[in-house]
Structure 1
Amino acid sequence: MKQKTSILLTIVALLGLLLAACGGATANPVAVVSDSATDSSDDIVNTSNTTSGQNAVASQTAVSDDVVTSQTYIDLYDQLNRSVVNIQVVSEGTGLNLNQFQIIPPDPNDPNAPELPEGYELPDGFPNVEPPEGSPEIETFPQQSQGSGFVYDKQGHIITNNHVVADAIRITVIFSDDSEAEATVVGTDPGSDLAVIKVDVDPDQLFPVTIGDSDGLQVGQIVAAIGNPFGLSGSMSTGIISGLGRLFPGGAVAPGGARFNIPDVIQTDTAINPGNSGGPLLNLSGEVIGVNTAIQTNGNRAFGVTPSFGGIGYVVPANILQQVVPQLIENGEITYPWLGISGTTLDNDLALAMDLPAEQAGVLVFSVLEDSPADEAGLQGSEEQIEIDGFTAFIGGDIIIQMNDEPINDFDDLLTYIVRRTSVGQTVTLEILRDGEQQTVELTLQARPAQP
C-alpha cells in the first residue's frame, strides 16, 4: 500500500511540474521593464499637447509590458516607419584654397617617371607659375549628406538634428512610400543639436508621432530605432537603454571656445550609424523618447573610412525636444539661460584638498567668465594649483551645492536644472561653500552669448 501511494504521489508531482513548465513557457516568455512615466514634468510641456487631434500613431502600437515577441517589433515598424523620413542635403561644403597645392612635374632624368599625356606641354617657368589674375584662391565644392527625421505634426513640421541640415542649400525629404518633397528650415538649435524643417504636402501624407516622457526611462528598458543608416531607408534596429543622464557636447560654443553640453542625454546600445542622425528612438508603445544624435568611436579614422557603430549611441531626450521644438516653430531659434562658469563635479580628492569632508557634493567653480551673471553676482573661481596623483588640479573656488530648492550633487544636476527649469531673466538663489563656510548668493540669469 505504501509503495502504491509513493508511486501515485510521484506521478502527481511529475504532472504538476509539467503543467508549471507549460504555463511558464506560454504566459511570460520575456519580461520587459515597464514603460510607465513618473510624474516629474517640472515646467515641461505636456506631451499630450504635441499631437493633439493629429492622428498620432503610437496609440495603435501599445503592447503589454509583460510579453514581447517578434510580432511586437513587426507591429511597431508597420505603424512608425511611415512617420520616419530620409533627409537628403546639399550643403555649401568647405572652401578649398587651390593655391596651397604645389604640383611637382615629372623629373625628366628619372626613367621611372610617368610621361605627360601626348600633346600636353608644361607652361614656361613651371612649377612657379602664378595663377591668372583675378582667379579665386578659395574654391567651394558642394557636399551631399543624408540623415533621418520624423513627422511632428500635420502642418508639415519634421524634426531632425541640427548637424544634418546645417549650411544646407537644398533639402529633400523622402517618405517611406518613396515620394519626395523639398523642405525649408524653420529653426535650428546648435545647443541641443535639434532642428525643425517643413514640407508642403497633403496632410493625409503625414503621420505625426507621439512624443513620450523621457523622465520615466529606466536602464535596461527595451527600445528601437528607425532611420536611414548608410542610406538604407527604413532600417530598424533594437536594443536597450544603457545609461541615463549623460553629458554630451552640443554645437553651441561658449566664450573662450568651450562647447555647451546637452544634459540628460540617453545612452543606448541600439545600432546607430551615419545616416541615423535625426531619427527617433522609440519605446515599445511607439512613443518617441529621443532623437538619435551621435555615436562613440575609438577616435581612429582611416582615410576614406566612415566611423561605424561600436555599441554606444547618444540620444537627445524627448523632454528637451518638447522644450525646444515649439520655440523653434514659433521663433526660429531658442534662447537658453546662462550662468557663466566653467567647473567640475567635486570628487573626494578635491574635497579633501580643500579641507572638506570627502563625501561633500557639489560643483567646484573653475573659472568665472567676465561680465557673466556669475561674475556680476561675485562668484569666485579656483586659483590655487595642486597635484593629485601627478595630475594638475585647481582648487579654492566656490562650490555650488544648491540652486533654489534643488540640491546640486554634480555638474549634470546644475546644467539640467538651468536648461530645463529656469528662464532668461529669472533670479535664482545659490547656496555655495566659500572657504568652508556656507553662503547664499542671488543671481539673475542672462541669455547665452551669441555664437562667436
Structure 2
Amino acid sequence: MIRSLVAAMPLASTTAPRAPRIPTPALALALLLALPLTPAADVLAQPRPVTPRGPLEAQEQNNIAVFRKVSPSVVHITTLAQQRDFFSRNVTEVPSGTGSGFLWDEHGHVVTNFHVIRGASAAKVTLSDQSTFDANLVGVDPDRDLAVLRIAAPREKLLPVPMGSSRDLLVGQTVYAIGNPFGLDQTLTRGIVSALNREIESMTQRTIRGAIQTDAAINPGNSGGPLLDSAGRLIGVNTSIFSPSGGSNGIGFAIPADEVNRIVPQLIKNGRVIRPALGITAGSEQLRGVLRLPKGVVLIGIQNGGGAALAGLKPFMRGRDGRIIGGDLITAVDGKPVADLDDLLNLLEQRQLGEKVVLTVWNGGKTRQVQAQLGSD
C-alpha cells in the first residue's frame, strides 16, 4: 500500500526551475482592471467625514462682528468722464475710475476722498445691496483730500458709520479697513495702528498733519473708505499708501477722524471750508531763497480791509527801477514759529473767524509784534 502511494507521487524535477514570466504593461493593466474592488477601495472613493468646527476665537468673532456692523455703510463709487465721439461729435459719459466711501448721515451724504472724484463729470454710488444711485456733489476740500456727495436713497438703506475719535488712539491697537480695492467691493482687512501724527501731502501740496499710519492692507480702490477701531467706529478715512509698486506694502495712511468731523459739516453747510485768514498773498520759497530771507512767510500782496492791512503789514514790491523794495515777513503766530505758508495756514485753521492773533513780523533785520484780526478766506 505504501509502495503504491509513493509510486503515485510525482518525482521531483531534476532540472532548474523556470523564471516566472513578467507580464507586459498592457497585460498588467488588464489584470489590474479585472480584479474586483475590495471594500477598502470603496471606502477610499468616498468623501471624507467633516470634522466639526470648534468655537471661533475671540479675534475672529470680533472681525466678523465689525464687518457685519459696518459693511452696510460702506459704498462703491464709480466716477464718469465725458467723452466726445470723433466722428459723430456725440458726448457720452464713460467710467473713469472707482473708489470707496461711506454713509455719513441719514440724509444720504457720502464721504470720500477728493482725489476719488477729481475731474469727474458725474458719479454713481453703489450700496452694499448692489443698488446704485446717481450722486450729486455737495462740497470738496482739496487741501484735506475730502469730498461729500449726496444720494437720494430710501431711508432704510442709509446706515451711517458710527463716529469715533482719533485723539485717543494708541500705537498697536487693532484697526480695520473696509473698501473696494481694485474694484473688489466689500473687502475687509485688519491691522494695527503703526504710527500716529504722520504728515502726508494732499493734491494741493498742503500738508495733512496728524495722519494715522496703519499696516492694514490698503490698495488702489480703498481710497475714501473708513478706517475703524475694534468697536467698528470711524477713526479715519483711508487716503493713500506708500508703495513704489502701487500695491500694499503695509504702509497706509488715513486722515484722522477728528479732522474729518470738523471739515465734513462745513462742506455740507457751505460746500467748502471757510478758513480764518489774514488777507495776504504769500511769495514762494524760491523767492525767499533768492532774497536770502529768514524762514517765514514772504508777503507779496495785502488785501484791502483784511486783517494784515488793518495791522499795518507791508508787502515786498518791485520799484520802478526794477529793484525789490523790502516788506514784511511773518515768522510766528502767537509765539509759534512759522517756517512757510503751510505752517501759517495750519496755525490759522486752529483759530476762529474774528479771533485776534499776535504776529511776529521781520523786516530789514528788525522784529516787531502786531495784533491782527482774522477774517474769512
Q: Normalising to structure 2: TM-score of the pair?
A: 0.67
Partner of 2:65: 75
Q: Distance in 2 between matches of 1:247 and 1:418?
A: 18
Runs of 5+ unmatched residues, structure 2: 1-56, 286-291, 317-327
Partner of 1:317: 256
Q: Distance in 1 between matches of 2:113 and 2:284?
A: 28
Which amino acid in 1 is paired with 2:352?
S
2:301 equivalent to 1:370: yes
Q: Distance in 1 between matches of 2:166 and 2:339?
A: 20
Partner of 1:235: 187
Going from structure 1 to structure 2, the CA distance change for 1:238 and 1:379 (only over 3 Å counts) comes to farther
Going from structure 1 to structure 2, the CA distance change for 1:282 and 1:325 (only over 3 Å counts) comes to same
Q: Distance in 2 between matches of 1:189 and 1:447?
A: 15
Partner of 2:101: 149
User: Structure 1 residue 446: deviation in Å?
Assistant: 4.5
User: Structure 1 residue 153: deviation in Å?
Assistant: 1.0
Where relative contact order (Cα < 8 A, 6+ residues apart) is larger, the structure is 1
Which amino acid in 2 is paired with 1:312?
I
Going from structure 1 to structure 2, the CA distance change for 1:442 and 1:398 (only over 3 Å counts) comes to same
Which amino acid in 1 is paired with 2:357?
V
2:121 equivalent to 1:169: yes
Going from structure 1 to structure 2, the CA distance change for 1:367 and 1:432 (only over 3 Å counts) comes to closer
Q: Distance in 2 between matches of 1:221 and 1:409?
A: 33
Q: Distance in 1 between matches of 2:267 and 2:61?
A: 37
Going from structure 1 to structure 2, the CA distance change for 1:224 and 1:313 (only over 3 Å counts) comes to same
User: Superposition pairs for residues 362-441 of structure 1, below 5 Å?
Assistant: 364-365=295-296, 367-371=298-302, 376=309, 378=313, 400-401=331-332, 403-404=333-334, 407-408=336-337, 415-419=345-349, 421-431=350-360, 439-441=368-370
User: Structure 1 residue 281: deviation in Å?
Assistant: 0.7
Secondary structure, counterpart of 1:177 in structure 2 = coil
How many residues were matched structurally? Answer: 299
Partner of 1:273: 219
Partner of 2:43: none
Identity %: 36
Contact 2:308 2:372 in 1 (8 A): no
User: Structure 1 residue 410: deviation in Å?
Assistant: 7.4
Contact 1:368 1:374 in 2 (8 A): no
Which amino acid in 1 is paired with 2:79?
V
C-alpha RMSD of the superposition: 3.7
Going from structure 1 to structure 2, the CA distance change for 1:379 and 1:234 (only over 3 Å counts) comes to farther
Which amino acid in 1 is paired with 2:121?
I
Contact 1:220 1:241 in 2 (8 A): yes
Q: Distance in 2 between matches of 1:341 and 1:429?
A: 18
Going from structure 1 to structure 2, the CA distance change for 1:191 and 1:211 (only over 3 Å counts) comes to same
Correspondent of 1:291 among 216, 228, 237 = 237
Partner of 1:120: none
Partner of 1:334: 273
Secondary structure, counterpart of 2:110 in structure 1 = strand
2:186 equivalent to 1:186: no
Contact 1:263 1:415 in 2 (8 A): no
Contact 1:399 1:434 in 2 (8 A): no
Q: Distance in 1 between matches of 2:296 and 2:175?
A: 37
2:196 equivalent to 1:244: yes
User: Structure 1 residue 152: deviation in Å?
Assistant: 0.9
Contact 2:296 2:338 in 1 (8 A): no
Partner of 1:216: 168
Q: Deviations over 1:103-133 (max 9, x none)?
A: xxxxxxxxxxxxxxxxxxxxxxxxxxxxx9x
Secondary structure, counterpart of 1:423 in structure 2 = coil
Q: Distance in 2 between matches of 1:151 and 1:371?
A: 41
Which amino acid in 1 is paired with 2:61?
Q
Partner of 2:30: none
Which amino acid in 2 is paired with 1:170?
A
Q: Distance in 2 between matches of 1:322 and 1:87?
A: 21
Secondary structure, counterpart of 2:121 in structure 1 = strand
Q: Distance in 2 between matches of 1:193 and 1:330?
A: 18
Q: Deviations over 1:344-396 (max 9, x none)?
A: 9xxxxxxxx99xxxxxxxx9315334226796453889xxxxxxxxxxxxxxx
Secondary structure, counterpart of 1:149 in structure 2 = strand
Secondary structure, counterpart of 1:429 in structure 2 = strand
Going from structure 1 to structure 2, the CA distance change for 1:168 and 1:249 (only over 3 Å counts) comes to same
Contact 2:358 2:371 in 1 (8 A): yes
Q: Distance in 2 between matches of 1:140 and 1:82?
A: 31
Q: Deviations over 1:320-342 (max 9, x none)?
A: 21121112112222222345557
Secondary structure, counterpart of 1:69 in structure 2 = helix
Going from structure 1 to structure 2, the CA distance change for 1:446 and 1:265 (only over 3 Å counts) comes to farther
Going from structure 1 to structure 2, the CA distance change for 1:189 and 1:226 (only over 3 Å counts) comes to same
User: Structure 1 residue 268: deviation in Å?
Assistant: 2.1
